[in-house]
Chains A and B, each alone.
Chain A
Amino acid sequence: MSEKKAGMEEKIWIKAGLTDSEYELLTKHMGREPNTVELALYAQMWSEHCGYTHTRPLFKHFLTTGPRIVQGPGENAGIVDIDDDEVITFKLESHNHPSAIAPFQGAATGVGGIIRDILAMGAYPIASLNSLHFGHPGEKGHTRWLISEVIHGIGEYGNCVGVPTVGGEVRFSNAYKGNPLVNAMCVGFMKKSEIKKAIATGVGNSLMIVGNLTGRDGMGGASFASKDLEEENDEDRGAIQVGDPFMEKLLIEACLEVFDQDYVVGVQDMGAAGILSSSVETASKAGNGVEIDVALVPKREEAMRPEEVMISESQERMLLIVKKGTEEKVNKIFHKWDLHAVVIGQVTDDGMYRVLEDGVTVGEVPVWSLMDAPTYILDAVEPPHLKDTRAFKNEQVAQPKDLNDVLVRLLGAPDICSKEWVYRQYDHRVQMNTVVKPGSDAAILRIKGRDKGIGLTMDSNGRYCYLNPRRGAQSIVAESARNQVVSGAEPIAITDGLNFGNPEKPEVYYQLEQSIIGISEACRALDTPVIGGNASLYNQTPEFGSIYPTPIIGMTGLVKSLDHVTTMEFKDDGDFVILIGETKEELGASEYLDVIHNLVTGDVPELDLELERKAQNYVLDIIRKGLVKSAHDLGDGGLAVALAESCIAGELGASVSLDLDMRADALLFGESQTRFMLSADGTSADKIVELAASQGLEAAVIGRVTIAKDIIINNMDEKLIHISVEECGTAFSTGFDKIMQTNS
Chain B
Amino acid sequence: MNWGVLLFPGSNCAEDCFHAVDKILEKPVKYLWHKDTDLGDVDAIIIPGGFSYGDHLRPGAIAHLSPAMTAVKEFASRGGLVIGICNGFQILTEAKMLPGSLLQNCGLKFLCQDQTLVVDNADTPFTSEYTSGDVLVFPIAHNEGNYYAAPDTIAEMEANGQILFRYCSPEGEVSDETNPNGSINSIAGIINRTGNIVGMMPHPERSSDSVLGLSDGKGVFVSMLKHLEATQG
Contact = CB atoms under 8 A, between A and B. Distances in A.
Q: What band does the interface of chain A fall in when counting residues whose beta carbon is under 8 Å from B?
A: 20 to 34
B12 A432 contact: no
Given A249-B51, A337-B9, A432 B112 contact: no
Interface stretch (B53-61, B124-132, B145-153, B185-193): B53-61
Contacts of A448: 19
Contacts of B13: 162, 430
Interface in A224-283: 244-247, 249-250
Contacts of A424: 111-113
Name the interface size band of chain B. Answer: 20 to 34
B112 A429 contact: yes
Contact of B12 (A152, A156, A249, A337): A249
B205 interface: yes
A428 B112 CA distance: 7
Given A155-B110, A430-B12, A446 B211 contact: yes
A124 B91 CA distance: 27
Contacts of B110: 155-156, 159, 425-427
B141 interface: yes
A562 interface: yes
A190 interface: no
A565 to B, nearest CB: 10
A428 B9 CA distance: 21
A429 B51 contact: no
Contact of B10 (A155, A160, A432, A435): A160
A152 B111 CA distance: 11
A539 interface: no
B212 A159 contact: no
A673 interface: no
B16 A338 contact: no
A434 interface: yes
B15 interface: yes
Contacts of B212: 429, 432-435, 446
A375 interface: no
Interface string B1-20: 00000000110110110010
A451 to B, nearest CB: 9
Contacts of A250: 9-10
A696 B113 CA distance: 43
A160 B49 CA distance: 10
Nearest to B141: A427
A7 to B, nearest CB: 53
A643 interface: no
Interface string A417-454: 00000011111111111110000000000101000000
A619 interface: no
Contacts of B226: none
Given A249-B12, A435-B213, A162 B19 contact: no
Contacts of B10: 160, 246, 249-250
B51 A432 contact: no
Nearest to A423: B112
Nearest to B14: A162
Interface string B92-120: 00000000000000000111110000000
B36 to A, nearest CB: 12
Contacts of A249: 9-10, 12, 51, 54
B50 interface: yes
Given A446-B211, A446-B212, A246 B53 contact: yes
A158 B206 CA distance: 18
A430 B51 contact: no
Interface in B129-168: 139, 141, 143
Nearest to B51: A160
Interface string B198-225: 0000010110010111000000000000
Nearest to A254: B9
B19 A432 contact: yes
Contacts of A159: 51, 110, 112, 141, 143
Contact of A435 (B55, B56, B211): B211
Contact of B16 (A245, A430, A435): A430
B130 to A, nearest CB: 21
Nearest to B35: A336
B4 to A, nearest CB: 18
A186 to B, nearest CB: 15
Interface string A139-174: 000000000000010011001111000000000000
A153 B80 CA distance: 40
A586 B65 CA distance: 65
A429 B19 contact: no
Given A159-B51, A430-B16, A562-B211, A338 B9 contact: yes
Contacts of B109: 152, 425
A425 B112 contact: yes
A246 B56 CA distance: 9
A246 B139 contact: no
Contacts of B112: 159, 423-429
Contacts of A152: 109
Nearest to B50: A162
A192 to B, nearest CB: 22
A245 B54 contact: yes
B148 to A, nearest CB: 22
A425 B140 CA distance: 11
A246 B54 contact: yes
A41 B211 CA distance: 51
A245 B206 contact: no
Contacts of A155: 110
Contacts of B12: 160-162, 249, 430
Interface in A405-424: 423-424
Given A159-B110, A425-B109, A431 B15 contact: yes
Of the listed residues B111, B141, B205, the one surrounded by the most CB atoms of chain A closer than 10 A to its CB is B141
Contacts of B211: 435, 446, 562
Contacts of B56: 246
A255 to B, nearest CB: 14
Contacts of A244: 54
B55 to A, nearest CB: 7
Contacts of B143: 159
A337 B117 CA distance: 37
A538 B9 CA distance: 40
A432 B54 contact: no
Interface in B3-49: 9-10, 12-13, 15-16, 19
B9 A430 contact: no
A239 to B, nearest CB: 24
Given A155-B110, A246-B10, A430 B54 contact: no
Contacts of A162: 12-13, 50-51
B21 to A, nearest CB: 13
11 contacts: A159-B110, A160-B54, A162-B13, A245-B54, A249-B54, A425-B109, A426-B110, A427-B141, A430-B141, A432-B19, A432-B212
Ranked nearest first, the 9 interchain pairs of A and B with the lowest CB-CB distance are: A162-B12, A246-B54, A160-B51, A427-B141, A432-B16, A429-B139, A427-B112, A425-B110, A429-B206
Given A162-B50, A427-B110, 13 more contacts: A156-B110, A159-B110, A159-B112, A160-B12, A162-B13, A245-B54, A246-B55, A249-B10, A249-B51, A423-B112, A430-B16, A431-B15, A433-B212
